[in-house]
């Protein structure tokens, strides 16, 4: 998480057995019980409305719910049967809606290039770490209707699946943990920030609760476009708004409501970053691995490699 400063989410039809009620829910079968646990639409939708306005209350509410769920599994949680897992094309659709033709092919080339790099950077430790975190991700997904793929994307992009989440990997900017939460964001949500082993950012469940509340707040601005929502975790909502303002100005537009503008124009992150002026402004030549323009792609490549283990070996 490098640059920081919900209202009910719109439903999105999902293929392959994913739960369609409210915000899309990652379908995960428990190793002990099997099957897919369904959310209760009315209850979950109400929860989404309640957790977006007060950051600290949202955090406390989610942490309390997690600590009070006795059936929360320990250790590895098995992903749902393969037919219920999003294909690579569906993962692209989730984060880059309305992208077709030559633009889609260009994006897929970019993903494949980054995927080749992530094959070397993500290790079995990375995948095992994500496995262990799936129980929490599943419960938060059911409660908030945040797609579980959002968390996997962020885990891969921010800490290589938690591999770089330890205290020894705190960044120069003070970001820490599986999701690289900054001190400012942690304090905003009421985390205990100590910069030592007692720091709440080293606790995945507490960190995931902050991520959930943060993303739902971003969704109030950007709607159900998951690409802009997860990008805001890296760029900050105001940063993403600034990029959208720049895009609008290049097309002679002035944005009144970002959510409506994105919907009206059928925008996705690729289309915005495909503008040469915007891409040039955002690129950071001093650190290619952390280019803002590649953040989502790096996360998507990680999610594809996690959900589709057959791709972890480079094609011959």
Higher pLDDT, 58 or 160: 160
Higher pLDDT, 291 or 207: 207
Residue 144 banded pLDDT, cuts 50, 70, 90: confident
Q: What is the pLDDT of residue 57?
A: 78
- In this model, does residue 289 exceed pLDDT 90? no
3-state SS class at 100: coil
Residue 199 banded pLDDT, cuts 50, 70, 90: very high
Instruction: Please say whether the beta carbons of 9 and 22 come within 8 A.
Output: yes
Q: What is the pLDDT of residue 97?
A: 94
State how far the alpha carbon of 282 is from the alpha carbons of 254, 272, 273, in Å.
21, 11, 9
Average pLDDT, the chain: 80
CA 174/CA 170 separation, integer angstroms: 6
3-state SS class at 34: strand
Question: In this structure, how many other beta carbons lie within 10 angstroms of the beta carbon of residue 114?
Answer: 21
pLDDT 10s digits, 262-271:
999 999 999 9
- In this model, does residue 8 exceed pLDDT 60? no
Collect contacts of 274-279 with beta carbons under 8 A, ≥24 apart.
274/103, 275/246, 275/247, 275/250, 277/246, 277/250, 278/243, 278/246, 278/247, 278/250
Q: C-alpha dihedral over 243, 191, 152, 98, to 10 degrees?
A: -30
Q: What is the pLDDT of residue 1?
A: 67
> Which region among 81-95, 226-240, 251-265 has the lowest average model confidence (pLDDT)?
81-95
pTM of the entire predicted model: 0.81
- In this model, does residue 233 exceed pLDDT 80? yes
CA 8/CA 216 separation, integer angstroms: 8
pLDDT 10s digits, 74-118:
444 444 444 468 999 999 999 999 999 999 999 999 999 999 999
pLDDT mean over 192-206: 96
- In this model, does residue 221 exceed pLDDT 60? yes
- In this model, does residue 212 exceed pLDDT 60? yes
Tokens 């400012």, residue located: 184
Residue 177, exposed/middle/buried by CB under 10 A (0-12, 13-18, 19+)? buried
Residue 291 banded pLDDT, cuts 50, 70, 90: confident
Taking alpha carbons only, the member of 156, 86, 152, 94 closest to residue 123 is: 156
pLDDT 10s digits, 26-58:
333 322 222 223 333 333 332 443 444 566 777
Residue 42, exposed/middle/buried by CB under 10 A (0-12, 13-18, 19+)? exposed
DSSP state of 9: P
User: Percentage of residues in the chain with pLDDT exceeding 70?
Assistant: 74
Q: What is the pLDDT of residue 284?
A: 55
């Amino acid at each position: 998480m490098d640059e920081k400063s919900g209202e009910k989410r719109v439903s999105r039809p999902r293929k392959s057995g994913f739960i369609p009620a409210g915000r899309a829910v990652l379908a995960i079968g428990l190793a002990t019980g099997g099957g897919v646990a369904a959310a209760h639409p009315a209850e979950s939708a109400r929860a989404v409305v309640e957790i977006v306005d007060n950051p600290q209350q949202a955090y406390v509410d989610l942490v309390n719910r997690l600590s009070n769920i006795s059936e929360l599994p320990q250790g590895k949680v098995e992903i749902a049967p393969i037919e219920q897992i999003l294909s690579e094309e569906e993962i692209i659709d989730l984060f880059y809606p309305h992208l077709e033709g030559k633009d889609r092919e260009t994006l897929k080339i970019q993903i494949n290039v980054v995927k080749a790099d992530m094959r070397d950077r993500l290790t079995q430790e990375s995948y095992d770490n994500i496995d262990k975190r799936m129980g929490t991700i599943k419960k938060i997904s059911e409660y908030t209707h945040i797609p579980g793929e959002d968390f996997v994307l962020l885990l891969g992009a921010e800490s290589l699946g938690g591999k770089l989440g330890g205290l020894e990997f705190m960044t120069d900017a003070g970001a820490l943990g599986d999701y690289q939460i900054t001190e400012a964001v942690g304090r905003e949500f009421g985390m205990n920030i100590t910069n030592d082993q007692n720091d709440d950012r080293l606790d995945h469940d507490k960190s995931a609760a902050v991520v959930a509340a943060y993303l739902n707040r971003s969704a109030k601005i950007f709607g159900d476009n998951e690409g802009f929502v997860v990008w805001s975790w890296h760029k900050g909502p105001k940063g993403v708004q600034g990029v959208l303002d720049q895009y609008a100005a290049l097309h002679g537009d002035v944005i009144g409501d970002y959510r409506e503008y994105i919907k009206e124009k059928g925008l996705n992150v690729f289309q915005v970053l495909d503008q040469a002026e915007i891409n040039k402004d955002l690129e950071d030549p001093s650190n290619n691995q952390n280019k803002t323009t590649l953040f989502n792609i790096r996360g998507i490549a990680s999610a594809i490699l996690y959900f589709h283990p057959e791709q972890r070996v480079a094609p011959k």
